Chain A
């Protein structure tokens, strides 16, 4: 029984291989890019002539905007590209599992660790862009100098926690469905699959919210 889509390899050359994780990631990327391009081709501003897809996209974007403002980031336009993409990628990768023969790429530790590392890199980038280099580095020393190693360790450990939380949730839902199919087929695995969809969307929301909380903690100026 395999626990990760990394183990299904389509093509290999040396240490570079094309495994199911990469193929599924590209499937999601193509789905998101082509969907967005098709919907935003003719954007209209009047109420009457809009297509319903434009309304759906506007709803999603405004929801993410409101959530970011609630966290405390004053100007969501700078951050919504990154945080919105995180949420959409993880949510779509979980929802598309209703298609047969699809495995969410976030069920592999490679994808979740790379998403967590991109959050880890983005926090200083946004912090320095907002506050300047010196003031951002000063936050590591607050409130007292001996907090410096503790702050650094907390940064690293919350990145690892982000990666493992997402990986554990995605992998466990797939694995539970696999085990249940061998035990009690036909009805019960379907219920667990539905629960897996719900937890997938919740984990996407939590990933995005935690990323925005870390960015807000790095970019807020003292009152």
Chain B
């Protein structure tokens, strides 16, 4: 296998694994956050707007790591610097 093939192969496999493994933990964390928020709303319905707002902000924070993984896998597939260096 020459180096061009190896770069293509490893890039694609890594991109798949990045988004697959990186998507597991944030999803679990978001599920727990929503569960606790629902508990809080059930206990105190008056505070539901504050709880909802804080929930959304917290979900966006948790989603940040997921977005990092997504950006890395997109870069590996579409804007791969090593691929462009060898081909273009």
User: Which residues of A are at the interface with B, using a C-beta cutoff of 8 A?
Assistant: 1-3, 161, 164-165, 167-169, 171-172, 175, 202-203, 205-206, 209
Tally of contacts, chain A with chain B, CB under 8 A: 37
**Please, which residue of chain B has its CB at the minimum distance from the CB of A109?**
B71
Interface of B is mostly: helix
Kindly list chain A residues whose C-beta atoms are within 8 Å of the C-beta of B67: 164-165, 168-169, 172
CB-CB nearest in chain B for A7: B79
B50 CB to nearest chain A CB (Å) = 9
Bound CA span A96–B86, Å: 39
Q: Which of B71, B75, B78 has the most CB of A within 10 A?
A: B71
Q: How far is the CB of A21 from chain B (nearest CB, A)?
A: 15
Whether the pair A202, B56 counts as a contact (CB closer than 8 A) is yes
Q: With A202-B60, A203-B60, A206-B60 as known contacts, state yes or no: A172 contacts B78, CB within 8 Å.
A: no
A203 to B59, CA, bound (A): 11
Contacts of A3 in B (CB 8 A): 74-75, 78-79
Give the A-binding residues of B (Cβ under 8 A). Answer: 56-57, 60-61, 64, 67-68, 70-71, 74-75, 78-79
Name B69's closest neighbour in chain A (CB-CB).
Answer: A168
Residue pairs across A and B with Cβ atoms less than 8 A apart, 20 shown, are A1-B78, A3-B75, A3-B78, A3-B79, A161-B64, A164-B64, A164-B67, A164-B68, A165-B64, A165-B67, A167-B71, A168-B68, A171-B71, A172-B70, A172-B71, A175-B74, A203-B60, A205-B56, A205-B57, A206-B60
Residue of A with least CB distance to B68: A164
B51 to chain A, nearest CB (A): 14
A167 to B64, CA, bound (A): 11
A209 to chain B: closest residue by CB:
B57
Q: A206 to B57, Cβ gap below 8 A?
A: yes
Distance (whole angstroms) from the CB of A108 to the closest CB of chain B:
12
Provide the residues of chain B in CB contact with A169, threshold 8 Å: 67
